[in-house]
Amino acid sequence: MKRPPADFAPMVALMPEHLNPLRELFVRLPLLNMSADGTLDLASSSPLLLLEVTEHAEDTVQALNLGLAAIGNLWALAAESIDDGTVPMGCVESLGWTIQMLADLSASLLILSVQCRQASERPAS
């Protein structure tokens, strides 16, 4: 069986355990202003808050992408155990759905980050 190289290493330093950008993001999201129709009103939100949301969203995306890459590497190495049934198919399916949701979260946070960055760079009216 051909295996990928076992030298996977993140290109950036891993995040210290005490930092949790997703938690920090969830603390700040409710502080953003909302419009009358219930959508985010980034233009009227605090520029400092927008910057914090942007940074925490980007840090979360980075952590999610590194984690997803690590899961993919481990999953590829576990292919033999999946094929022979050692790893139950229900676990494989659950992991697939988890990866799909984490990838969607990562994409959504990247969009939020770009929107916040754009709103914070607009000149005040």
Could you tell me if residue 107 is inside a domain? yes
Residue located via tokens 């481990």: 74
What CA–CA distance (Å, rounded) separates 115 from 61?
A: 15
Could you tell me if residue 16 is inside a domain? no
pLDDT per residue over 41-75, tens digit each? 999 999 999 999 999 999 999 999 999 999 999 98
Could you tell me if residue 41 is inside a domain? no
Residues, the chain: 125
Alpha carbon of residue 118 to chain centroid: 20
Could you tell me if residue 9 is inside a domain? no
Q: Which of 21, 106, 101, 121 is nearest to 66 (CA)?
A: 106
Could you tell me if residue 11 is inside a domain? no
Could you tell me if residue 53 is inside a domain? yes
What is the H or E stretch that residue 66 is in?
Answer: helix 47-77
The burial of 84, by beta-carbon neighbours within 10 Å (0-12 exposed, 13-18 middle, 19 or more buried), is given as exposed
Could you tell me if residue 89 is inside a domain? yes
Domain carrying residue 108: 46-121
What DSSP assignment string belongs to 64-110?
Answer: HHHHHHHHHHHHHHTHHHHHTTSS-HHHHHHHHHHHHHHHHHHHHHH
Q: What is the pLDDT of residue 121?
A: 87
* Banded pLDDT at 31 (limits 50, 70, 90): very high
Could you tell me if residue 71 is inside a domain? yes
pLDDT per residue over 94-115, tens digit each? 999 999 999 999 999 999 999 9
Q: Which two tokens stand for residue 38?
A: 């219930």
Number of domains the chain is built from = 1
